[in-house]
Structure 1
């Protein structure tokens, strides 16, 4: 098989082009590059006063990090509570928040007894119903005081029972709602009842302490 020889004119043109390219390469000094073409974009620099501003969310050297964290935690707790006036629908959120903020530390039997007694005491104190059942908690002078809240609308929103400094002392923390004698209804009220463990007919029991 034979091939057709290339045209002498084409070979001559290729030789001339290679010579020109070689000469151009030799004219460039070793180690230097051709300058890049100028860019049409305009570079911008931040003003000196903005150069030291930290990125958003990062504290500066003078920022109190612990105070920032505490404020964030407080905001989270407050956001977990339902708004005032939401009604019984918001009570489960109040109970969850109250229990999470103060972990349980009593046996379940003691906790149930304290909660039942604490709820009854709060109702007696607020509405006047059943005060005679606890003469130690409501002496005669206290029983004669007119109730400050109406029975209608009274509602305990949340309650927990916890130790109060020793295994024989406890406190029942209650959050409740009620309407006073002036007709003003307010929720998220707070009342604490304190107890000590005593022996009653040979059986340990929790005895409420008078309100001071």
Structure 2
């Protein structure tokens, strides 16, 4: 069996497994993002950078925590991003508008801003913007993420939703994907917020069979490495 046939069979197997397990599938948390392309459009996936393995080829919600380094309580370097689009320049765009978890849903929140920064360029949830990067071999980008309260006040503990997309001159812009950041709340609340985002923001995979050109999925989810 040639490599293309093997790859196609693996895609079919993993997509069927994903479809059968979707109802009980917990959203990937503390995995990195991955930018790839299908049908000329950029796509997001979740990725285990320690094994260079795609976790979920259709993932659009990613969890991370502020303050894992106690010296930087309002900062994070997760999630990172990988890509297989060698030689392509990708723009990571932060969309204006920050939301906060109220225990049952995300609602608009104007008392803080999340900044995403890389290479001297940045975007934020107040006015948008972003940065670009060139994909090379072994690519594993970790931007800097910060949350700031307004008027110099420390941001309140909470769970915050940031919207992004990826664009490039070589591909159509991706669909929106979301980062769910936890600042000082329980892991259970963080998981609940991620589950809500997957259930309410991401379309149901009614047409999974239509994405047979996609990447394979491997494991379910992993916690952040210590």
Same fold by TM-score greater than 0.5: no
- The structure with more strand, counted as a fraction of residues: 2
TM-score, reference length from structure 2:
0.24
**Higher-RCO chain (CA-CA 8 Å, sequence separation at least 6):** 2
